[in-house]
Amino acid sequence: MRVLIAGPVGSGKTTTAVQFIAEGVKHKEPGVVVIFEETAPKYMDQAKALGVDLEEMSQQGLVEVVYVRPLDLSMDETLYAIESAVDKVGAKRVVLDSISGLEAALAPAFKEDFLESLYRLLGALTGAGVTILLTVEATEAYNQMRFTPHPISFLTHDIILQRYFEIDGELRTFVTVLKTRARAHSHDLRAYDVTSSGVVVGKRLSEFTGIITAVPRAHTPTKA
Ligand SMILES: Nc1ncnc2c1ncn2[C@@H]1O[C@H](COP(=O)(O)OP(=O)(O)O)[C@@H](O)[C@H]1O
Ligand SMILES: [Mg+2]
């Protein structure tokens, strides 16, 4: 299974990814985190602030953090680095955080080929029973509930969307499932908070309308 989390900067994608890996370790499912934007020590620091010691998990052979600088590596080397890490820990969970970082770093001439190769690698991993979490930075305006056809959206059919909205002088976040492949899913828009212990999903935002416009109004019941 492959799941894509799309959301703007700061909406909690990395937090969710770290929790996903930590939860895997709890269930004896080793994990690999592939990062493109910042170095492993920085990423591990962020995880540590959430109470997830990736470094210790790595020393125990349960997690590998792979920092890929695509410009420095050929496509083959990059894919090989990911595959090696997966083999090394016997990964059951793989995180790619984020596809935007990967894309940004790739020279346009390589992009299509690379995504093709990555697609094949992800397909092979999925076929081998590995669950993959991809993150992508959604760049469109906050008031557009639109998932711009992104060149990487073909990588998965299961998409979770995170968004900001404004209420009571605060910028809050909500999450919704945009689509799943061949299964029914919840259509709730749920508020969530990123806390020091991770993402905490709250209730459905039924008291508002227009949340997807980012500036909701109080919901007026139609029946007295
Ligand atoms: N340990 C923490 N304690 C409290 N809040 C945190 C912690 N770690 C991250 N956050 C909050 O979560 C927000 C989103 O972080 P992050 O998961 O890195 O987002 P993204 O990857 O989507 O850019 C940050 O702006 C920060 O306020
Ligand atoms: Mg992030």
Any ligand 1 atom below 6 A from CB of 47: no
Please give the model's pTM, rounded to 2 decimal places: 0.91
Any ligand 1 atom below 6 A from CB of 13: yes
Any ligand 1 atom below 6 A from CB of 50: yes
CA–CA distance, 96 with 33 (Å, rounded to integer): 6
Lowest mean pLDDT among 13-17, 30-34, 122-126, 155-159: 155-159
pLDDT recorded at residue 139:
67
Pocket perturbation via mutation, ligand 1, pick of 5, 15, 54 by most ligand atoms within 8 A of CB? 15
Any ligand 1 atom below 6 A from CB of 10: yes
Distance (Å) from CA 220 to ligand 2 centroid: 37
Any ligand 1 atom below 6 A from CB of 222: no
- Give the number of the ligand closest to the Cα of residue 8: 1
Domains of the chain, first to last: 2-163 (3.40.50.300)
Strand partners, 171: 166
pLDDT recorded at residue 146:
41
Taking each continuous run of H as one helix and of E as one strand, the counts in the chain are 6, 11
pLDDT recorded at residue 71:
67
- Give the number of the ligand closest to the Cα of residue 46: 1
Average pLDDT, the chain: 87
**Which residues keep their CB under 5 angstroms from ion ligand 2?**
13-14
Q: Is 10 exposed, middle or buried (0-12, 13-18, 19+ CB in 10 A)?
A: middle
- Is 159 a residue whose pLDDT tops 60? yes
The more confident residue out of 148 and 173 is 173
Q: What is the mean pLDDT of residues 88-108?
A: 86
